[in-house]
Amino acid sequence: MKFLELHKVKVPSHYRNYKSIQEVIECISTCIKNDMLLEISKCLYLNLQIDELTDITSQKVLTMNVRYILDGIPKTRFLGLIELKSGNASVVYEHIKGTLKSLGIYEKVKSICSDGASALSSAKNGVFGFLKKDLKGLFYIHCISHKLNLSLTDLWQGDILLKGVNAIIYNLCKHFINSSNRFKILRFHERQSLDLDLKLIRPTDIRWMSKFNAIKRILRLYPAIIHALTDLAFKKDIVAATLLLQMKTLKLVGHLFIITDIAFIVEPLN
């Protein structure tokens, strides 16, 4: 509406009330949906991508995307967000079937992709198993991004050296992030020596690429981190003194750079 007013178009005030705005949103939604369904109608086959999650209100929901090829070009479209009464496979199956049938695209689904959770992927008691009874020839795809993340997580947990590196970067981030005073000291040295104003990234197992991102940030802030740890060690901070010794070893720094190099290969794949 501001755009229209900039071009000297008069916008009535009642267009800005809640009811009008809701109608505008619904019209936009309907147009997008109709355009998407028209495009899908031209395709013979669809891949259904599903993921179950719990939102911030503790409501279980299911996200659905469809992937298809049109004129030789692969496309992915967000199909909908469904509220679930439970995460039971049969309940999820009924919701998926009802939604796809209402859109007239149920029979076009030839493959299903998920994160590998058994409730979704099991050929016997999972959503895939129920769908396969209706859709002959349906096959399952374990999302390759999830598989990549799972393999990297197993690597971090199974390799002795990487477990040691992981412990050091986790303790380093924890030591600064959990204390406002230590955080201020690091921030001071960032600005003084690097002219930067960045935060350390705490690595977690469930966030894709978080360990790589944490290590890249540590290397970028490395001089400031060493200065900050030196100041804290001088003030009898035993944890900081231990971290300082670890962070200054050539072996650790070398491996941090090697891991960062791996990230440049893994990130595009992800």
81-90, pLDDT tens digit by residue? Answer: 999 988 899 9
Q: What's the mean per-residue pLDDT of the chain?
A: 91
pLDDT classification of 215: cutoffs 50, 70, 90: very high
Adjacent-strand bridge partners of 62? 52, 82
60/89 Cα distance (integer angstroms): 13
Domain boundaries defined on the chain: 1-41, 43-142, 147-269
pLDDT given at position 184: 95
Identify the CATH homologous superfamily for domain 43-142: Ribonuclease H-like superfamily/Ribonuclease H (3.30.420.10)
The pair of structure tokens assigned to 24 is 């505008």
Q: Give the contacts of 169 (CB within 8 A, at least 6 positions apart).
A: 203, 211, 214, 215, 218
Whole-model pTM: value is 0.68
Q: Is the pLDDT assigned to residue 210 strictly greater than 90?
A: no
117-129, pLDDT tens digit by residue? Answer: 999 999 989 999 9
250/196 Cα distance (integer angstroms): 25
The pair of structure tokens assigned to 161 is 């050296």
